[in-house]
Structure 1
């Protein structure tokens, strides 16, 4: 389960955050992605000033890692870059070749390298079991040479397994999977497409010989969301039953594929909504909704089978 997104400064080291993480661990969750976002100003900016807000501080990250480990959870540290103007990070992009006087991929990757290598140092010092070096960077995915250089530098700092979280439908498009240890993607597939998409992903993964899991997957508890689970702004009334319907289809499809190593569900906030308001909450978190108990049952069964 992803925890703490978007990692707003001041939210990870509080009594509410401790209660949230403890509640998450009680759902038979075994791994958590601690996900936080630094911000660049626009999709064409080359500065990523991660040292300042709104992202959590290093001290908050360390606190959350230690809290997760204290609950027996394995941790994937997941630093992400967002765009302050609201543009989805997949659209961050520059000319294919560097042009003098224009913002360039080289300039951007130099800043991104600083951000990710800094996170790698925290992951190594705190014994994180995995590090995710990027999330849904669709336009950046084609910059193979830059990613390979970044990964090489990360490996000088962090000794654990490295993954990259590609976006949905991109699993067979990334050309540098050999450079990471684990392949992962965002599995926000429409409820009636799981089988077809898993067939496609299986072919792509099999050709690499790498393990695979879904770094993100899930569905808002909202009418209409099972058909468009990646659309967090879709209009619709709250519906825990719709979320449960999606979870059932997703788990059934994924658990039938032995090559899928797991689901890192999206998501569990650092501050939970009150339990008595769960029925009116239409976001991705399953806490207190029909999908909550189902998820815990599935995770418990999955763990037992894997033991």
Structure 2
């Protein structure tokens, strides 16, 4: 697999976000400043709670198909490979990993069967769009931890996706879950979220390597990132971390992560989290505490390592 030097671009964007000139300028900046060859776009599907059986992807909380298609075509004109990752989220703020139902369907209770019907419709809508626009990869969801034990349903979903989309198919599992997914054999690529503590990369990579060798599939980190908030390098997945701005700590996390990963020949790339469609002015970069790397030392670290990697490594 061609090495992925990527970023997630403007995830969960609201309707109209991709129609603004600022979004296209932001993508230009990403290419010019970081040297990416790959982006992931993340259409937003919303359900009310973790136990809701309906998923909405046609409201103003989700970019329209027309603007999504236009952004895909623009990215491809710039020489980027594009993946779509339609992702379900909960309106009440509960993290999607906690979407869960009884293992057995129970009368008058919300059911896995109904939820997978809705989730399949959601995925197939965007799989068809990915086929139409020539996206190089389709990612059938992200960090749906409690659902991953539903092996039969996931295998059926992947099969249904292949009926309408003919590129590479993967699924983005969460950190620490790579070894728990039993159905990696039915996708083309294994991918996960690499939010591992600064001092734990080698141990986690050893664990993931065993999974990759077992299934004999390519692997990449479909998400990876760390906020520029003091203490975030120890819990990079905690987006609610409070503390002072620490640009050096963020840069150190990326340096450690990239150096450790690039020693492992089985890792086929990274898609960092994330690059906004409407960026802050560069003079505000030093006060930004988020995952953004625009104008921060971490941006230069990523660029340095991306420039070091031969695309067909």
TM range (shorter): over 0.9
2:9 alignment counterpart: 3
Alpha-carbon distance in 1 for matches of 2:183, 2:53: 23
1:113 aligns with 2:120: yes
Tell which deviates more after alignment, 126-135 or 32-41.
32-41
- State the partner residue of 1:25: 31
User: Is 1:184 the counterpart of 2:167 in the alignment?
Assistant: no
**CA–CA separation in structure 2 for the residues paired with 1:172 and 1:201:** 7
User: What is the distance in 1 between the residues matched to 2:114 and 2:55?
Assistant: 11
Structure 1 residue 269 displacement after superposition: 0.8
Q: Is the 8 A contact 1:4 1:36 kept in 2?
A: no
Q: Distance in 2 between matches of 1:80 and 1:53?
A: 16
Q: How is 1:51-130 mapped onto 2 (pairs within 5 angstroms)? A: 51-130=58-137
Measured after TM superposition, the shift of residue 38 of structure 1 is 1.3
Query: Which aligned pairs between 1:103-182 and structure 2 lie closer than 5 A?
Result: 103-182=110-189
**CA–CA distance in structure 1, aligned partners of residues 31 and 14 of structure 2:** 21
Alignment of 1:29-44 (within 5 A): 29-44=36-51
Secondary structure of residue in 2 paired with 1:152 = helix
- Aligned-partner Cα distance in 2 for 1:303–1:264: 16
Unaligned stretches of 5+ in structure 2? 1-6
Q: Deviations over 1:82-124 (max 9, x none)?
A: 0000000000010011112111000000000000000000000
**Partner residue, 1:272:** 279
Root mean square deviation, CA, Å: 0.9
In the TM superposition, residue 303 of structure 1 has moved relative to its aligned partner by: 2.9
Other-structure match for 2:55: 48
For residues 149 and 113 of structure 1, the distance between their equivalents in structure 2, rounded to whole angstroms, comes to 9
Take 1:240 and 1:37, find their aligned partners in 2: how far apart are those partners? 30
Pairing partner for 1:258 from 253, 265, 270: 265
**Counterpart in the other structure of 2:214:** 207
- Specify the alignment match of 2:245 in structure 1: 238
**CA shift for structure 1 position 49:** 1.7
Consecutive aligned runs of 4 or more in structure 1 exceeding 6 Å deviation: none
Normalising by structure 2, report the TM-score.
0.96
Residue 79 of structure 1 and its aligned partner are, at CA, apart by 0.6
Equivalenced residues, count: 306
Q: Distance in 1 between matches of 2:212 and 2:298?
A: 29
Aligned residue for 2:298? 291
Distance across 2 between alignment mates of 1:38 and 1:301: 36
Structure 1 unmatched runs, 5+: none
